[in-house]
Each structure stands twice: as C-alpha cells, then as structure tokens.
Amino acid sequence: MLDSYSLLDALQGYLARRGLDPTSLNLEMALVVMVDWYRLVPQGALGGVAPPGRSDHLLFRYGAWSEGCATGFNVSILRRVRQANIGSGHTNWLAGLTLIFEPSAYRHLDVFSLLSSERDSLEAFLDAVENAPGYRACARVTPMTVAVENGALR
C-alpha cells in the first residue's frame, strides 16, 4: 500500500542505488535525478499494483520560505502520486528534493509552481522548468542545504 513513507522509502532507495548523497546535488543535477526516478520507477513499483484512480506527476515549485529566524529560497522537485479516495476526494502523496538557497539574490522572483500534467509531455514540462526564472537563476548554484522530503495532502 502506498503512503507518504513508502514513497519516501522508494526515493531514498533509488538515491542509495545510484550512490547519490542528496546534499551534494545542485538544482540541475536534482532535476535529472527526479526525472530519472519518475521515468525508471513506475508508479506500480511504488506501492504494489497501481489501483484505478491513481495518477503520478512531477511538481516543480519555488518561492520564499521562513521559519522563525531562518529564511531561505526553496526550490522543490517533488513526485506527486494522487489517489482517489473511496467516496469522495483524493490524497496527494509527495516525495522529492528541496534545495534551499540564500534568499537575498532571489527576492525578486515570484512564487512559481508547475505540475507535469500541465504540459503535453515530460519533455515540454522539462522545457518549461528549465526556462523558469527561478531554475535559470539557481541551476548551477550550490544550495545552502538539500532536504529529502515527503508528505500527504487531502
């Protein structure tokens, strides 16, 4: 059964098999890793046979972040598996990489979010991501840190 923890385990297992330490990635490399995971590990391998009503997408987003006195500019590449619930609604399971950059150089950038289903193909999605101002600004910059994250939204 798929849940946020099994999705996170699948990502961490993929990173380990590739010998990758997430903290060594820049945004350009993180995008390649997440697209490869999406392409090479089908959703059925994430939590058994994919039941009806399940969809699988990549989500790219960036924007400001703050918590207490800590501030950063976050760029996230997440895999979102959406499962229709019995009765009504759905649950979004998320796992991916979030790169946190020193914020002062990016305060001029507006919040941005793009889901792979908003494009006709994965290649069109990648083209849109690579042309986003936040990606172009951060692609080869060393982040302050990289977090492997997961979650669920209903």
Top pLDDT among 31 and 53 is at: 31
The amino acid occupying position 87 is G
Average pLDDT over residues 25-54: 83
Whole-model pTM: value is 0.88
Please give the tally of structural domains in the chain.
1
Q: What is the pLDDT of residues 78-135, one digit of tens each?
A: 999 887 777 777 788 899 999 999 988 898 999 999 999 877 799 999 999 999 999 9
Average pLDDT over residues 24-43: 94
Top pLDDT among 81 and 18 is at: 18
Question: Which has the closest alpha carbon to 147: 2, 12, 43, 5?
Answer: 12
Cβ neighbours, 10 Å, residue 99: 27
Phi, psi of 118 (to 5 degrees): -80, 0
pLDDT at position 72 over 70: yes
pLDDT at position 154 over 50: no
Top pLDDT among 21 and 50 is at: 21
Domain of residue 135, residue span: 4-153
pLDDT at position 49 over 60: no
User: What ranges make up the beta strands (E) of 68-137?
Assistant: 70-84, 90-101, 112-115
The CA-atom distances, in angstroms, between 33 and each of 11, 14, 54, 95, 116 are: 10, 9, 23, 13, 15
Contact 99, 75 (CB under 8 A): yes
Range of weakest confidence among 21-30, 42-51, 111-120, 131-140: 42-51
Contact 64, 73 (CB under 8 A): yes
Rounded Cα distance between 126 and 60, Å, is 10
**CA dihedral sign of residues 23, 27, 28, 31:** positive
Range of weakest confidence among 28-32, 66-70, 126-130, 146-150: 66-70
